[in-house]
Amino acid sequence: MTLEIGSKNGVMSLLKARWLQCTVVAVLALTWWRGEGWLSDLRRLDEGAIGERISAEAEAAKQAVLLPLTIDVIVGANDTLEVIFRKLELSVTDLASLRALPDLRRSLDRLYPGELLKFGVRDSELVSLERQLSPSETLQVTREADGFESEVIVNPLERTLRVGEATIRNSLFQAAGEAGLSDSLALRIADIFRWDIDFVLDIQPGDRFRVIYEELSQDGTPLGEGDVLAVEFVNQGTVYRAIRFEHGEIAGDASLQDDGDFGYYTPDGKSLRKAFLRAPLEFTRVSSRFNMFRRHPVLNRIRAHRGVDYAAPIGTPVKAAGEGRVRFIGNKGGYGKVIEIQHANEVRTVYGHLSRFARGLRQGERVRQGEIIGFVGMTGLATGPHLHYEYLLRGIHKDPQKVALPNDRPISASRLGDFKAHAAPLLTSLENGQISPALLARVAPPTSTGTAGR
């Protein structure tokens, strides 16, 4: 059973599945009860035997009802493990138990849009969890009598290098589908460039992309796409390139952000990851832009609008735009429920009109970029549900949509040569639209080459 849990229909499907499971068991039990076999048994069994038989059948029915339900969850753009647990109505105690295990914390810390998680659920309790850590490694978590245990299963895979490319007519996903590429791969491309390209507002007909990726198989059975090794995206004439680089290849480089085992970098070694998100939520539209002479919709007088209003449904998760410390959390005049975060280099961000704050968030607490800090509302002076977002540099308000966002830390000078040697055959393959011999030679057999979307 596969659910896109961001939708109400996904949750209702889960509830219907549980109801159907119980109903089928009850009908089968009633049918057997009324059958001739039961009446025949009544004639032969004494009262004690009948009682034992009833108890045994009742226990069997109970166990059948409690069989774990397997749920496949496709991770959405805003999903964290906490969000998924809440939408599946799973125990917060189980979530805390997973977070408390040191060997699981990093494996479950960051989820990627488009990836698949497999949950085993019984009576709102987590029975099992499966996550693909890499094309050849699967994390399996199971509930035991004394808590959760985890194991990483290694699966030998065959990898075929592919080149996919497409020109956009309507949307990234339509173009990817027409080129024979999956929605999951399209999501990963959008995720790689999310700091530079707004895939809701910025995409135009004629934009194009070319991607080098792995196609995986096992014993001749296709398993879908593996890692995205390099990608070029042309947006409104501007060319963006990204190279995947394993952090383990430059272990000990303190310049790398500590958010996983790999990152994406420009050809000259700069991180594509920005120190700040351009927009701290998934929004439907910009309802009011940065404007120092705007007429306030509630006060009906000219009043500077020192931020951007992002319209979104009440309850939409709001994320910290960058790493920092909570400077203020509470109610403040027209802002309503508001959070202020102090960042490095004299940058401060403000998140207003929230409906509520993330559970446990306190003043003085450190937050990471992308961490959910609150939820969209319309508290304070607001005419509809939206997030009011401000960006201040040295105490001066800047337009969040136009301010130049600093990049995260680049690869250090001492390691830059290693990175450029790694990137060279990937860049050649991007330019030529086919896998270069140098890239093919670097990958162990039985890797082969191919082209998609040509």
Coil, strand or helix at 36? helix
Domain co-membership, 419 together with 393: no
Domain co-membership, 175 together with 222: yes
Query: At residue 351, does pLDDT exceed 90?
Result: yes
Better-predicted residue by pLDDT, 294 or 207: 207
Q: How far apart are CA 24 and CA 47, in angstroms?
A: 28
CA distances from 357 to 329, 336, 348, 351 (A): 8, 12, 18, 11
Here the tokens at position 446 are: 């039985």
pLDDT digits (tens, 9 = 90+) for 273-314: 888 988 898 876 888 887 775 565 655 666 678 899 999 999
Domain co-membership, 292 together with 229: no
Closest CA to 438 of 426, 447, 446: 426
Let me know: does 99 contact 68? Beta carbons within 8 Å.
no
278 falls within a domain: no
pLDDT digits (tens, 9 = 90+) for 56-95: 565 555 554 567 789 999 998 778 888 999 989 998 889 8
Q: Which residue among 133, 154, 175 closes a domain?
A: 154
Query: At residue 42, does pLDDT exceed 70?
Result: no
| Overall domain count for the chain | 3
Domain co-membership, 6 together with 148: yes
The domain containing residue 69 runs over which residues?
Answer: 2-154
Let me know: does 363 contact 328? Beta carbons within 8 Å.
yes
Query: At residue 264, does pLDDT exceed 80?
Result: yes
Query: Average pLDDT of 248-261?
Result: 44
Q: What is the largest CA-CA distance in the chain?
A: 92
Distance from CA of residue 394 to its chain's centroid?
Answer: 32
DSSP state, residue 363: T
Query: At residue 98, does pLDDT exceed 90?
Result: no
Domain co-membership, 32 together with 149: yes
Domain co-membership, 177 together with 269: yes
Domain co-membership, 20 together with 101: yes
Domain co-membership, 260 together with 350: no
Confidence of residue 24 (pLDDT cuts 50, 70, 90): very low
Q: Which residue among 136, 154, 172 closes a domain?
A: 154
CATH number of the domain bearing residue 172: 3.10.450.350
Q: Which residue among 356, 375, 398 closes a domain?
A: 398
pLDDT of residue 367: 95
404 falls within a domain: no
pLDDT of residue 58: 56
Q: CB within 8 A of 438, min separation 6: which ones?
A: 424, 425, 428
Confidence of residue 254 (pLDDT cuts 50, 70, 90): very low
Domain co-membership, 142 together with 170: no
Query: Average pLDDT of 394-398?
Result: 94
Domain co-membership, 27 together with 147: yes
Query: At residue 211, does pLDDT exceed 90?
Result: yes
306 falls within a domain: yes
193 falls within a domain: yes
166 falls within a domain: yes
What does the mean pLDDT of the chain come to?
Answer: 81
403 falls within a domain: no
Domain co-membership, 382 together with 415: no
Confidence of residue 441 (pLDDT cuts 50, 70, 90): confident
Here the tokens at position 391 are: 């960006």
- How many other C-beta atoms are found inside a 10 Å radius of the C-beta of residue 422? 17
Domain co-membership, 350 together with 214: no
Query: At residue 250, does pLDDT exceed 60?
Result: no
Query: Average pLDDT of 16-36?
Result: 49
356 falls within a domain: yes
280 falls within a domain: no
CATH number of the domain bearing residue 297: 2.70.70.10
